[in-house]
Structure formats: C-alpha cells, structure tokens
Structure 1
Amino acid sequence: MSILGTSCQSSKEDVKPVKTSEAEQLLLKLKTVPEYGFMFGHHDDPVYGIGWDGDEGRSDVKSVCGDYPALMSFDLGRMEIYGDKTLDNVSLDRIRKEVIEQYKRGGMSSFSWHVDNPSTGKDSWDVSDSTVVKSVLPGGDNHVKFIEWLDKLADYMNSIALEDGTKVPVIFRPWHEHTGSWFWWGQNLCTTEEYKALWRMTYERLQEKGVTQLVYAYSPGSEPKDSTAYLERYPGDDIIDLIGTDIYQFDKDNYVNDMERLLNIMTQVSEAHDKAMAVTETGYEAIPDSLWWTGTLLPVVEKYPVSYVLVWRNARERENHYYAPYPGQVSEKDFVKFYNSPRTLFAKDMNNIK
C-alpha cells in the first residue's frame, strides 16, 4: 500500500515505468561523468546576471569563458502560488525554454523547490510552526492543498518537452538541506518518519501524474559527521538516484576540511548504494579570492567521483550576492584556468561523454 492509499499493482502489464528512457540515459551519464571529470553548474545561469536581466543567449559564465555550464539549475519556489513565475521573478515559460535548449546542447538541468509554508502562507524559511510537515501528510489539515500544489508541479514538469512530445529529463532536488532547521521541513521541524513520508508522498504523487522523467537528488547540508548521520532521513534507494551536499565557504580551512569530510562520506554512501554523487550547492559569496577556482575548489573536488559541482546564482537584485565570475570580476582569469582544466566539464564537453 502506498502512502497515498493506492493499491499495489498485481500484474506486470499494469505497472507504469519508473523512469523514461531519457531519464535513465541522464542517470547513466551522471554515473559515467566522473571518468571524464566533473560538470560545472550554475544556478539561474541563462536568465539573469550581474547588470542584466532576461537577455536572450546571455550568461555570466559564458561571457567569461565562452561556454555555458554543463549543468544549470532553477528554483520552482512559489510557482504553486503565482502560477506563471518563481520566487526569483523568473517566468516559468522562460525556464521551460532554457531547460529545453540546455538539453539540446547536451547539458543537464536541475530543479529545486523552495515551496511556501502551506500552514502560514509565508515562505519556506518560515519555521514558526513545527507541525507543517505532519499537516501535509495524509489526514493532515493541509494535505489536500499540498496535493494540489504537487499537481501544479507535475503539470509543469510534464510541459517541458521537445517538439515531438518527448519529455525532457531533469534532476529534481526537493526537501534539501533538511539537516539544518531553516526550512519548514528541516531537522527540528519534523520527525525522521515524517520527513521520509514527505519524500515518498512527493515521489508517488508525481509518479501517479506521469512525471517519470525525473532523476531524484537527496541533498543534506554540511552538518552530517558520518554516513549514519548522512543517511538518517534517507528516503530509500527506490526513490533516490543521486546523493549530494550543500556547503558554502565562509572560512577557507573549515570549508576544505568540511568538504573533504562530506565527500568522503558521500563516496562511501555512493559505493554502498550505487548512486551518483554531486556537490549540489556550493560557492564563495562575491568570490573575493582571485585564485579560488584552481586554488580551493578544484584541488578538493577532483579527488572524488563527483558528477557535478553547482555554484549558486548571480543575483541581479542584491549587491555582492553572486557565486560565478562575470567580466572584470577579480577571479575571472582564474576561472578561465578552471575552465581549461582537463577535469572540468562545460556544455561543449558533454556530447563527448557516452
């Protein structure tokens, strides 16, 4: 019996495929990538940047090195409220277009979802109520509302398709950084069982709605000290395809030590559970270190079987809130060296990976 109350299928003919062939190919590519290096990713890369917003064909990364990131991520927060745009004021139509273009050029895309607090109507950072996760599960006060939100998400995912109707496969990374307590689904805001049930409900509802083109990512923060802590709220091998971590630099020594610890943990888990692994969010805000790319990030990541490393967005509405270089930024030259490293993969490299 599933958490949504649907009965188990009894015959093989009735069982829907768990993943489309395109999603299976994307997952296989994620597992193959470390043989070549690791993909560089950037959040909201083609939709805005430092000093620009919405320009077609533009990217701060591309302006610096002449190539798009191999992976682009986008956030779907507030799409369940607004219907046509996200919390970062990016239209869903534009995101759809960019995901399709990225797929056609051989790259990948990932979605996170900073979903609003369904109990209070405030954003996902509202942790004033520790019963929100319980309230969206079956029998809870917000269950029906939340299923409606999941259905909106499903409809949008299914609308991202090629001209022939083929649905574009993407990485989906909901309920991230749950090892902290700054989101309503965080460590101190729900029990282990409730968190796992939230994941399973999300997965099963999307499957029910025919969203079988997703590769699912589990993405704790930097808190876990060992594999037991890392896996404490792991939803299960039947759901998760890729494991990751979100970790940012504030102090270099601590960042490198924490990154080493987490990459060691993830390597153990990856091997034990046969999962791809990635640094799902990272970066150094405003990149004040001119040699950060080849002096800090590359030396630690290249030692591990990492599929991709993704840095956060270049905000056009907040001063000094950016994580990739732009023309004239202090780390621009070092980023070009990073780009030219045989271990880093960008969009133009992706068609060479089998």
Structure 2
Amino acid sequence: MASVPRALRRVFLVLTALAVTLLSSAVAARPALADQAPSNPNTAPYAADLLDWLSELPRRMHTKVVSGQFVSPNYGRPEYGMPTVQDAWDYHVEELHDLTGEYVGLVGFDPSNRTYQGGTAAENMPDFTNFRQLAKDYSDQGGIVHLTWHAANPFSGAHAWSTIPSGHTLAEIATTGTAANTQWMTWLDAIADGLQWFEDNQVPVIWRPFHELNGGWFWWGGGSNPDFVTVWRHMYDYLTATRGLDNLLWAWSPDVGQAFGTKVTARYPGNGYVDIVAFDRYGASYTNRTYYDHFRSATYGKVLGFSEVGLATGTGGNSTVVLNEIKTHFPDMAFFMFWMRMSTNFSIRGNPGAADLMNDPWTLNLDEIGVSVPLPTIVDDASAAFTYGGTWTHSADPLYHAGTKSVSNTAGAWAEATFTGTSLRVHARKLPSGGKFDVYVDGAFVASADTYAVADYSQAGVFQRGGLAAGSHTVRLVLNGSNPASSGAWVGLDYLAYQ
C-alpha cells in the first residue's frame, strides 16, 4: 500500500474542494426537479441546499449515490485495534483512499462515550471533541457529516443495548420532573452544545437519533408507539426551537431486517419532524422492497438512503453488492454508509470489491459532492412523444411515474420515441410475469431487456445505454416473449430518461 504523508493528503483534499467549488460556480443555476422543503422552516441555507441536492440525486443518470463510511464513536475502538478516532479515520478513510484512489462522500461519527462498557451517568456524557475537527475539515472539503447517537439509558445509566426498567415508560424521558427526564436533559444539553459547535462553523449535519427504532435491542425500542413519537418530537422541539439549531437534517432510521408493521409506521414522527428516511440493512440480500416502496411514496416525499449497511468479511460478501442492489431494486437511494471494522469487519475497506464500488459510475465520492450536473429529460409513457403499434392498454396506476402505464403482452407490439442526447434509460415495471423487449436505436438492434423479477416493483431501470453520438435518435422497443422463469410476457412501460 502506498504511504502518503497526511499533510500531502490534506493539500490534495483542499485543492479538490477548490476545484469542486469552481466547477459548481461554473454550472448555470437551475432549480432542482424535486426540491424538498426542510422540516424546520428556519433551516440554515447551507443545510437546506444540501437537502435539495440530495433530493435531486435519484434523477441523475450517473454519479447519483453518495458513498459513505462510519468511522468511529467518540472514544475510538481500542478493542478492535483503533484506540483513537484518528486511528479509525486512518483505517476507514485514508487507507480506503490509498486502496481505491477515492475518498468517500459521507463520513459518520457517534458522540457516545462507553456505549458498550456501561459506566456511570457522568461517564456516559456525550462528547464531540475527539472527532469534531476531523468532521469539520471534511465538510470544508465538500464531504457530508452524518452523526448517529447511541444514547445511554437515562433510566439506569447503562449502555444503549439495555432495557427500560420494569414499572417505567419511555415517555418519562420527555416528562418534566421524572428522574429519567432530569438525566436525559443533562445529556441532551451536551448534545446541543456539541451540535452548536457545528452550527457555529456552518457545518450541516445529518442527525440520526433513535435508530433501529423497530428492533428490540436498544432501550428506545421498548415502550409504546405513541411514546416513541412523543420522545422524538420532544428532542426535535428542544434542539430546534429551544436551542435554535438550524443546521440539522433529521434522519429517521428503521431496521429493514425486521417485519414491516405498525411498530414502523406508527413510530413515524410525522413529515414535520423528519427530513430523511434512512434504512439499516446488513447482509448480502437487499431485495425486500416493502419498506422502500412504502416510504418512497408521495405521502412522505423524503430523501431516502441506507444509513447502515455491512457485509461480513469471509462470508463471500463483496462491497459491490450494496451498490448493485441499489441499481436494481432501490434506485431512489441518495446515499449509503458502511459500518465500521469491529469483530466483524463491515467496512468498505475490509471487504472485497472496494475499488470496484468506489470507482463505479453510479458512486458519488468526495470530489463530486455538491457539483450540479444536467438532469435527464423524462418522457412519460402517456406523452405525445411516444407512438405505439400493436396491442397496448393505457391506464392509470399510482405505482407508475406520473400515475400512468402502458401495458402489453403481445409479441411484436412496439413503442417508439425520438430524443436528442447521448444517453438513454428505459424504465418499466418488473414482476414475476414480466416479459422481454428488444431495443433498437436508429433502426439498429442494441440489446434485449427483461422485465421479469421474483418480486414485483415499479419504476425500475431495465435498460441503459450511453456513448451515443450527439444529436437526434429514435428508440423503438419491440416486445419479444419472455424468459423461461417468467409466468407471462407482460411489459409495463413507464418512462424514458435521456440526456
């Protein structure tokens, strides 16, 4: 592994940030297609701009998913060979750059003290000082700062992986006069002080408290659903209204490895208290779209991401699995964050495929953060730009883009559109009875696309081609049967995207 002095790396990052700034200023200003209003109406412009930029990413053709790596809790991880936060930073960020030539776009930290080790209430006081300069420097270079708080138990002083004592309720921490509330407010004041430092330095923060709220391993996972909403809103109101912190983007983060149900939906605090819906998912299979389909609906209208992912070293895991599943099943995800090296090494650096992941055209790394790019033009199936031949049924369907679909299972039926650009993407529904269609560009056969999938999901990118000559092109999609695994030959055309 090449050894590069850290001082030279800092120079490189500063120059990279300058280049990004110059390029950003050179791009003509234009509104994003789906600006998302922050939950806090007083959100600082630099934080609101970050949210707008994240909300735009799913519409890009490439460089559309921010790479991320969790680095360390405040106290380092001496038991895993990283006694300080700087040691963890060197392993997860600097050595990943040495290996791949790229710096991640998002870095994660945790202000907790002694989360596993327990300790007294005083020893569990949150602390930002061991990582805040690293985080600020990265933000100054264009990176995104993501903070997760594994809060200690205010009822017992135990670590996050504990329970609420019998006879007590979660709502007590939001109830003035209770012992739990007195302890909680001491810690919450320390959290506010730490976040204030970031606001004073104009650092936007993705703030993720009470994550994996639908599991049973953290103390905040116990208690009733209304109690959880009360506690979330209490923290939100205290940090935003009482303490005036306007640099926060609030990430609500369920664990998608758990069954979907009211423990998830009834614990959603409301759109006025959430900016980002960020899922936690470990393992090599990411194909369950129940959570994704529910929260990507217009009812919520939030930026989506994977706030924790991880693959176990030595189990055949490959870092590219995460991105490939995003491409195939979760195209609206704006970012992913790998967890750190522990007794199981979940990090990007610790798994095969790191270089492939970091250098994939979809991956958006530090040198590309904040850069505006032209967005593709969308041509909906119901647009007059489309012409159809053969048997098609055109109807309304809320699962499709713009609420319309064009469906056929007749071999030889075709759909055609003309566009001006150098790249093209076709979106359709994928389902167990999905069929195939052949793609012709300017009269020449290019490839076959298959809409069969074990799971049923809509708005899937089923064909993409770049490198076309600049100018006008005509694309024709011709239905052509199905693969042997499919129970039918149905094609549900949704839209084209080109640029």
1:278 and 2:311 equivalent?
no
Residue 335 of structure 1 deviates from its aligned partner by: 1.7
Q: 1:46 to 1:179 in 2, by over 3 A?
A: closer
Residue 199 of structure 1 deviates from its aligned partner by: 0.4
Residue 330 of structure 1 deviates from its aligned partner by: 5.7
Q: Distance in 1 between matches of 2:136 and 2:363?
A: 23
Q: Distance in 1 between matches of 2:111 and 2:264?
A: 25
Contact kept, 8 Å, 1:84 with 1:93, in 2: the verdict is no
5+ residue gaps, structure 1, are 1-15, 87-91
Partner residue of 2:134? 98
Partner residue of 1:89? none
Give deviations 1:14-45, integer Å, cap 9, x for gaps. xx953111111121122122224201111017
TM-score (norm 2): 0.57
Contact kept, 8 Å, 1:246 with 1:282, in 2: the verdict is yes
Contact kept, 8 Å, 1:224 with 1:262, in 2: the verdict is no
1:157 and 2:195 equivalent?
yes
1:266 and 2:295 equivalent?
yes
Q: Distance in 2 between matches of 1:239 and 1:205?
A: 12
Q: 1:56 to 1:138 in 2, by over 3 A?
A: closer
Q: Distance in 1 between matches of 2:73 and 2:314?
A: 20
Give deviations 1:30-84, integer Å, cap 9, x for gaps. 2122224201111017997986552597323223212221111111223984488
Give deviations 1:125-179, integer Å, cap 9, x for gaps. 1115253522212143321221221111101101125xxx443110001011111
**Letter of the 2:341 counterpart:** N
Partner residue of 2:319? 293
Higher relative contact order (CA 8 A, sep 6+): 1
Report the aligned-residue RMSD: 2.8
Aligned pairs (5 A) from 1:1-354 = 18-34=42-58, 35=60, 36-44=63-71, 53=84, 54-55=86-87, 58=90, 59=93, 60-78=95-113, 81-82=122-123, 92-127=128-163, 129=165, 131-139=168-176, 140-160=178-198, 165-186=200-221, 189-207=222-240, 208-223=242-257, 225=259, 230-249=264-283, 252=284, 255-258=285-288, 260-268=289-297, 271-286=298-313, 288-289=315-316, 292-294=318-320, 296-303=321-328, 304-315=331-342, 319=343, 321-326=344-349, 331=352, 334-353=353-372
Structure 1 or 2, whichever has the larger Rg, is 2
Contact kept, 8 Å, 1:64 with 1:325, in 2: the verdict is no
Partner residue of 2:403? none
**Letter of the 2:210 counterpart:** W
**Letter of the 2:100 counterpart:** C
Q: 1:95 to 1:83 in 2, by over 3 A?
A: farther
Contact kept, 8 Å, 1:110 with 1:170, in 2: the verdict is yes
Q: Distance in 2 between matches of 1:124 and 1:45?
A: 16
How many pairs does the alignment contain? 312
Q: Distance in 2 between matches of 1:288 and 1:95?
A: 32
**Letter of the 1:121 counterpart:** G
5+ residue gaps, structure 2, are 1-39, 115-120, 374-499
**Letter of the 1:62 counterpart:** H
Q: 1:66 to 1:94 in 2, by over 3 A?
A: farther
Q: 1:45 to 1:33 in 2, by over 3 A?
A: farther
- Higher normalized strand content (fraction of residues): 2
Q: 1:69 to 1:57 in 2, by over 3 A?
A: same
Q: 1:128 to 1:240 in 2, by over 3 A?
A: closer
Partner residue of 1:5? none
Q: 1:209 to 1:225 in 2, by over 3 A?
A: same
**Letter of the 2:311 counterpart:** Y
Q: Distance in 2 between matches of 1:100 and 1:285?
A: 30
Contact kept, 8 Å, 1:179 with 1:223, in 2: the verdict is no
Residue 339 of structure 1 deviates from its aligned partner by: 1.5
Residue 324 of structure 1 deviates from its aligned partner by: 2.0
Q: Distance in 2 between matches of 1:179 and 1:285?
A: 23
Give deviations 1:236-265, integer Å, cap 9, x for gaps. 11110000111111xx4xx2333x343333
Contact kept, 8 Å, 2:47 with 2:205, in 1: the verdict is yes
Q: 1:83 to 1:232 in 2, by over 3 A?
A: closer
Q: SS state of the match for residue 256, structure 1?
A: coil
Contact kept, 8 Å, 1:158 with 1:167, in 2: the verdict is no
Q: Distance in 2 between matches of 1:215 and 1:149?
A: 20
Q: Distance in 2 between matches of 1:125 and 1:265?
A: 28
TM-score (norm 1): 0.79
